[in-house]
Chains A and B, each alone.
Chain A
Amino acid sequence: MKRSLRPLAATAVIFLIAYAASVLQFPSMLSTRVLGNFLTDNAFLGIAAVGMTFVIISGGIDLSVGAVIGFTGVLVAVLISWLGFHPLLAFVIVLGVAALFGAAMGAAIHYLQVPSFIVTLAGMFLARGGASVITQDSVPINHEFYGALSDLMIRLPGGGRLSFIGLLMIAIFLGGALLAHRTRFGSYVYALGGNPVSALLMGVPVARTTVQIYMLSSVLAALSGIVFSLYTSAGYPLAAVGVELDAISAVVIGGTLLTGGYGFVLGTFVGVMLLGLVQTYIIFDGTLSSWWTKIVIGILLFLFIVLQRIIFAASAPGEEKPEKALV
């Protein structure tokens, strides 16, 4: 096996072992119901994490994801419940707003030459503040189309339900994987993360790609906000606080290198599932308090970062480069 595939393999193996251990303790965890809920409960995180994967592969970071999810939820709720828009029209509007927002951040990062960290921090304040200024309270969404969409699901044998939002997340992951590994844009993203100077010299349109990356991240965050509003049937300005940290954790645990240039979209999927497993296990156990979730995620994060260090430090410099270009 390629050395560079090891972080991904390690994540998958750890997930399987952890899942098997959980099933041994609680046999009911091995049911389509739990697996279906896995997908539904983590759909919004997964969709946001796909965008984060692209950002991190390109060598940047996007702290505005959670705030954009909150803002989108509020905007959708306000458009539907207060202004009487049809949900589909509302979706188009918020996705458009998010695209502009992401494009502005990407442009600022490229043209002002500032670290993505600080630009997306401003974006985070702006989106969260904007949402809180629109409304302080939770705005419920009572539209029949919304109800129909959240009830849309495929029933599995054994009482499991594959909900619309769970399927949407899987579709986004597959689409993201294709985009990353099979398109020109994908190769640009990897090239930019590997080495921006060589990317520029090789003729990668750095400005356009940077703008597109952050646009993608914001649009997916907005989609995640829509999914979150479907999940909760409401828009709340303080929803999804700190989701960017979960998304970054999922991306790292999924084997994407934080220095950029290397990573897998499908690895992020395993990362999201592993985070979901931690939460589900703690709920099943019942005696562990919710704060253990944070500690376990922190420990996992640490383990995977160290794992990456060991694997990439062990590979000879000449060996690492060609694999980075793996597209």
Chain B
Amino acid sequence: MKRLHLERLANPQLLALAAVLLINWILFPNFFRITWQDGRLFGSAIDVLNRGAPVAILAIGMTGVIATKGVDLSVGAIMAVCGAVAATMVVAGYPTPIAVIAALGVGVVCGLWNGFLVAVLDIQPIIATLVLMVAGRGIAQLITEGYIVTFNDPTLIFIGTGSLLGFPMAAVIALVLMILVTLVVKRTAIGLFIQAIGVNRSAASLAGINSRMLLMLVYGLSGFCAAIAGILVAADIRGADANNSGLWLELDAILAVVIGGTSLLGGKFSIPLAVVGAIIIQAMNTGILVSGFRPEFNLIVKAGMIILILMLQSPLVGSAIGFFRRDDKRVVSK
């Protein structure tokens, strides 16, 4: 029922993005003015891409997790841990590539840990990832010993603030990652397997899908994406802040995925649309800032957005038959 319903909405994400950009443009006529300066592009629209990149990257990993009817609450904490690892290693004198690889490795290990809890110990995803969400920031602080570790490593700073062909590095990384993951998922059977697990894990296992392996993979990818986002955020401010890096970004990432039309009940997902969702969120943030409203309005606008999406997807808008069908589904997805 859900699938039918979303198809009827026919890609509302791009329409929503257009609407948000239009509002931004009306409020702030210079929104789309892009200038070329010091070998890179400048402008509010570019800024949206740059600032939206971390959430977009998180959303790529989160899409896979949510498609298996899970959720990963720990990505914000993993960001903090990986940022801390990269920063402390660079400061300790390790070469940058090794520090980055180590941070990415730590992210994957964190993700696999979540995957182990979900796939092997069969723990509800929301709770399994809660463990790392609670403990992760403590671990990050342990690594940085409670300080904000600042660094001056040019390569690492380039990853966070540099530019490629005029576009901000963070946005380029997000784009490349999105294309790679989408290709892997769509050109192989992995996407189909993920959907199968999301619809019915036991049935998928009975049909011969190695669901444990796939769940580990999906959570591992989420951890990997969180690691990239964590490195980007740390490189952007030239320091690893264990307390605030990635704080509440897991919620933004989930929101981006939901805006992107991925069903929280599993089974239907789209990685590019989740990235569009992340850009919509960032365009709203930037819009609120440039139009002079206080940033606190952000939270209320986000809440309004979730409510709107829920209304659009709700069975009340659909048919009465849909009501009872969905009733059954909700039970399963509890």
The answer to whether B297 and A129 touch across the interface, beta carbons within 8 angstroms, is yes
Taken residue by residue from 27 to 49, chain B's Cβ proximity to chain A (1 for < 8 Å, 0 otherwise) reads as 00000000000000000000000
**Chain B residue, CB-CB nearest to A134:** B296
Specify which chain B residues have a CB less than 8 angstroms from the CB of A295 in the assembled complex: 135, 138-139, 142
A214-243, CB < 8 A from B: 237
Q: 7 tightest A-B contacts by CB?
A: A298-B135, A129-B299, A294-B138, A132-B296, A291-B141, A122-B306, A295-B138
A22 contacts the other chain (CB 8 A): no
B303 contacts the other chain (CB 8 A): yes
Taken residue by residue from 285 to 327, chain A's Cβ proximity to chain B (1 for < 8 Å, 0 otherwise) reads as 0000101111101110110011001000100000000000000
**Chain B residue, CB-CB nearest to A308:** B123
B127-159, CB < 8 A from A: 127-128, 130-139, 141-142, 146
**C-alpha gap A115/B254 in the complex (Å):** 13
CB contact under 8 A between A112 and B314, given known A126-B299, A133-B296, A245-B133: yes
Residue in A237, A292, A306 whose beta carbon sits within 8 Å of that of B138 in the complex: A292
CB contact under 8 A between A59 and B334, given known A112-B316, A133-B294, A291-B142: yes
The answer to whether A115 and B264 touch across the interface, beta carbons within 8 angstroms, is yes
A260 contacts the other chain (CB 8 A): yes
Specify which chain A residues have a CB less than 8 angstroms from the CB of B212 in the assembled complex: none
B187-228, CB < 8 A from A: none
7 example contacts (A-B, Cβ-Cβ < 8 A) are as follows A119-B306, A129-B299, A129-B300, A130-B300, A248-B127, A297-B135, A302-B135
The answer to whether B328 and A123 touch across the interface, beta carbons within 8 angstroms, is no
The answer to whether A122 and B131 touch across the interface, beta carbons within 8 angstroms, is no
Taken residue by residue from 259 to 281, chain A's Cβ proximity to chain B (1 for < 8 Å, 0 otherwise) reads as 11000000000000000000000
CB contact under 8 A between A309 and B122, given known A112-B316, A289-B141: yes
Specify which chain A residues have a CB less than 8 angstroms from the CB of B330 in the assembled complex: 113-115, 196
B104-144, CB < 8 A from A: 117, 121-124, 126-128, 130-139, 141-142
Specify which chain B residues have a CB less than 8 angstroms from the CB of A195 in the assembled complex: 331
A103-142, CB < 8 A from B: 108, 111-115, 117-119, 121-126, 128-130, 132-133, 136
**C-alpha gap A301/B126 in the complex (Å):** 13
Interface size on B, residues (CB 8 A): 54
Specify which chain B residues have a CB less than 8 angstroms from the CB of A259 in the assembled complex: 124, 334
> B130, B264, B328: which has the most chain A beta carbons within 10 Å?
B130
Distance of A275 from chain B, by nearest CB (Å): 11
A69 contacts the other chain (CB 8 A): no
Specify which chain B residues have a CB less than 8 angstroms from the CB of A197 in the assembled complex: 328, 331
Residue in B251, B300, B333 whose beta carbon sits within 8 Å of that of A115 in the complex: B333
**Chain B residue, CB-CB nearest to A116:** B334
Specify which chain B residues have a CB less than 8 angstroms from the CB of A298 in the assembled complex: 131-132, 134-136, 138
A52 contacts the other chain (CB 8 A): no
**C-alpha gap A248/B310 in the complex (Å):** 25
Specify which chain A residues have a CB less than 8 angstroms from the CB of B146 in the assembled complex: 289, 291
The answer to whether B126 and A112 touch across the interface, beta carbons within 8 angstroms, is no
Distance of B219 from chain A, by nearest CB (Å): 15
A65 contacts the other chain (CB 8 A): no
The answer to whether B306 and A125 touch across the interface, beta carbons within 8 angstroms, is yes
Specify which chain B residues have a CB less than 8 angstroms from the CB of A305 in the assembled complex: 117, 121, 123, 127-128, 131
Distance of B262 from chain A, by nearest CB (Å): 12
Total of A-B residue pairs, C-beta within 8 Å: 147
Kindly list 12 other residue pairs between chains A and B, CB separation below 8 angstroms, not including A115-B333, A259-B124, A306-B121: A112-B311, A115-B330, A117-B264, A118-B264, A125-B251, A129-B303, A133-B300, A196-B330, A196-B331, A248-B127, A258-B124, A309-B122
**C-alpha gap A259/B242 in the complex (Å):** 32
CB contact under 8 A between A301 and B131, given known A289-B141, A295-B138, A295-B142: yes
**C-alpha gap A248/B124 in the complex (Å):** 14
**C-alpha gap A293/B330 in the complex (Å):** 36
B163 contacts the other chain (CB 8 A): no
Residue in B122, B254, B299 whose beta carbon sits within 8 Å of that of A128 in the complex: B299
Specify which chain B residues have a CB less than 8 angstroms from the CB of A260 in the assembled complex: 334
**C-alpha gap A304/B304 in the complex (Å):** 36
**C-alpha gap A297/B296 in the complex (Å):** 30
**Chain B residue, CB-CB nearest to A125:** B303
B237 contacts the other chain (CB 8 A): no
Distance of B273 from chain A, by nearest CB (Å): 17
The answer to whether A125 and B302 touch across the interface, beta carbons within 8 angstroms, is yes
A60-110, CB < 8 A from B: 60-61, 108
A252 contacts the other chain (CB 8 A): yes
The answer to whether B303 and A245 touch across the interface, beta carbons within 8 angstroms, is no
A158-195, CB < 8 A from B: 195
**C-alpha gap A309/B131 in the complex (Å):** 15
CB contact under 8 A between A108 and B142, given known A113-B326, A245-B133, A294-B134: no
Residue in A108, A125, A245, A293 whose beta carbon sits within 8 Å of that of B299 in the complex: A125
**Chain A residue, CB-CB nearest to B243:** A291
Specify which chain B residues have a CB less than 8 angstroms from the CB of A121 in the assembled complex: 251, 254-255, 306
Specify which chain B residues have a CB less than 8 angstroms from the CB of A132 in the assembled complex: 294, 296, 299
Specify which chain B residues have a CB less than 8 angstroms from the CB of A245 in the assembled complex: 130, 133-134
Distance of B198 from chain A, by nearest CB (Å): 14
Specify which chain B residues have a CB less than 8 angstroms from the CB of A53 in the assembled complex: none
**C-alpha gap A55/B87 in the complex (Å):** 40
The answer to whether A118 and B258 touch across the interface, beta carbons within 8 angstroms, is yes
A209 contacts the other chain (CB 8 A): no
A4 contacts the other chain (CB 8 A): no
B147-176, CB < 8 A from A: none
Specify which chain A residues have a CB less than 8 angstroms from the CB of B231 in the assembled complex: none
The answer to whether A258 and B127 touch across the interface, beta carbons within 8 angstroms, is yes
**Chain A residue, CB-CB nearest to B144:** A291
B99 contacts the other chain (CB 8 A): no
**Chain B residue, CB-CB nearest to A292:** B138
